[in-house]
Amino acid sequence: MLLVEDEPFVAMVAQQLLEDDGFAVTHAATGSQALSCVGQDATALDAAIVDLGLPDMRGEDLVRQLRALRDDLPVVIASGYGLAEMSATFQGMARMGFVSKPYDGRALYRALSDAGAI
């Protein structure tokens, strides 16, 4: 699972939640790092959890680039924005889940389920 989150504490908590449930997690703090981790092969990813507010690129742009590599990649958008705003940004895209920050494990897993990742 690819976790793209620039806030260290949020990344640490999310990674721990996922690893405690048996997921292998790769953390990237920027969009560029995420793309480097994925390379040209996104088939190994179970899903991507992407923060919208990344320091080097917009989360929307990263999602589009990841989907260009693998169009069926389950993606969860994590953001402090409201659910309606997030949904509107990604309207028409399949296999998407949304979680508002701050979130707990239950909310994260619901979003992963909505995206078809679990």
**What mean pLDDT comes out for the span 19-35?**
96
Structural domain boundaries, residue 25? 2-114
The residue type of 70 is: R
Does position 77 have pLDDT exceeding 90, yes or no? yes
Which pTM does this prediction carry?
Answer: 0.94
The residue type of 8 is: P
- What is the pLDDT, as a whole number, of residue 18? 97
Domains in the chain, number: 1
Peptide linkage before 74 cis (omega within 30 of 0): no
31: CATH: 3.40.50.2300
- What is the pLDDT, as a whole number, of residue 82? 76
Distance CA 51, CA 106 (A): 18
